């Protein structure tokens, strides 16, 4: 972080074009993780949005606008919410400073006040969901002296919103937990049998509340583990075998499908490395395998 900041920020680092900050203590809200990012290079920065099994909430408070490139074109946003596995999304900008929050689907129900499956687009402006509340939190983060102050402000806001949010259907939450615990290996048919539901009922309920059909959610969880292993430097052949892919070609196709990059390219991506530094092993949704 910049030496001009007051106070001491713990658990921080630098990766390529980004300074990365992590909270010094665990977040008290179940299913929520946070990290802070600041671009420290001159000129524009471009960030590939790599899908992960969580919704993403970004609050930008720097001097430069955050530009989102997605299916709707190019938009300048002060904050955003991205659903699970958004397609072909890139963030661009100069002088970017932001807090990024990861939310499990269960946490997103309460914090966002809308089910993930009800989000109107893959990427939604935070102002559309929170109105003036989005502007207020941006101002608080801009005025804060340290990253710990910023994390505390966001945590307080999210905790307050959790009192009035929506609850996920308990059977759907159970199915999601089973998919995560199995690292994407759980079979949809088996989950339906254990619930006493038809496959169609599970498919419909899960998709409407999580935002993805259960089979694609399982693929996303498995991809997430594979991508983290690649970021840790494991060879693609080993990752394919350890993460349950048929072979290395299968891994290659899935990584390209979710990230738009080959396994080798993704492993060497500087922005993905910054993302890994911010959220790896934070105990929020899916744990990375041992190194």
pLDDT per position as a tens digit, 24-44: 998 998 889 999 988 776 667
pLDDT over 70 (residue 6): no
pTM of the model: 0.84
Residue at token pair 């989000």: 119
Nearest to 147 by CA among 289, 287, 291, 9: 9
> Per mean pLDDT, which range of 65-74, 146-155, 176-185 is the poorest?
65-74
Tokens (6 digits) for 153: 């402000």
At 245-287, the pLDDT tens digits run 999 999 999 999 998 889 999 888 777 777 777 776 554 444 3
Tokens (6 digits) for 14: 């630098």
Contact criterion met (CB below 8 Å) for 106 and 173: yes
pLDDT at site 64? 72
> Per mean pLDDT, which range of 169-178, 211-220, 224-233 is the poorest?
224-233
Task: Tell me the average pLDDT of the chain.
Answer: 83
pLDDT band at residue 88 using 50, 70 and 90 as cut-offs: low
Domains, the chain = 12-161 (2.60.120.10), 170-279 (1.10.10.60)
């Amino acid at each position: 972080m910049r030496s001009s900041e007051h106070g001491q920020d713990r658990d921080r680092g630098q990766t390529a074009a980004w300074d990365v900050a992590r909270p010094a203590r665990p977040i008290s809200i179940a299913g929520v993780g946070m990290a802070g990012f600041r671009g420290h290079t001159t000129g524009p920065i471009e960030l590939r949005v790599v899908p992960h099994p969580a919704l993403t909430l970004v609050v930008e408070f720097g001097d430069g606008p955050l530009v989102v490139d997605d299916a709707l074109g190019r938009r300048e946003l002060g904050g955003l919410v991205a659903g699970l596995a958004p397609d072909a999304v890139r963030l661009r900008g100069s002088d970017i400073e932001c807090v990024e929050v990861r939310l499990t689907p269960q946490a997103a129900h309460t914090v966002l006040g809308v089910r993930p499956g009800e989000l109107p687009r893959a990427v939604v402006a935070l102002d559309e969901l929170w109105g003036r509340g989005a502007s207020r939190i941006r101002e608080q983060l801009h005025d804060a002296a340290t990253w710990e102050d910023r994390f505390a402000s966001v945590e307080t806001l999210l905790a307050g919103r959790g009192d009035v949010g929506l609850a996920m259907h308990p059977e759907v939450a159970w199915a999601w937990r089973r998919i995560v615990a199995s690292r994407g290996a759980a079979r949809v048919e088996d989950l339906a049998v254990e619930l006493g539901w038809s496959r169609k009922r599970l498919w419909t309920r899960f998709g409407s509340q999580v935002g993805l059909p259960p089979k694609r959610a399982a693929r996303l969880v498995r991809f997430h583990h594979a991508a983290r292993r690649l970021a840790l430097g494991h060879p693609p052949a080993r990752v394919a075998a350890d993460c349950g892919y048929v072979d290395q070609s299968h891994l290659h196709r899935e990584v390209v499908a979710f990230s738009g990059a080959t396994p080798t390219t993704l492993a060497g991506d500087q922005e993905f490395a910054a993302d890994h530094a911010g959220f790896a092993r934070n105990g929020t949704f899916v744990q990375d395998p041992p190194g």
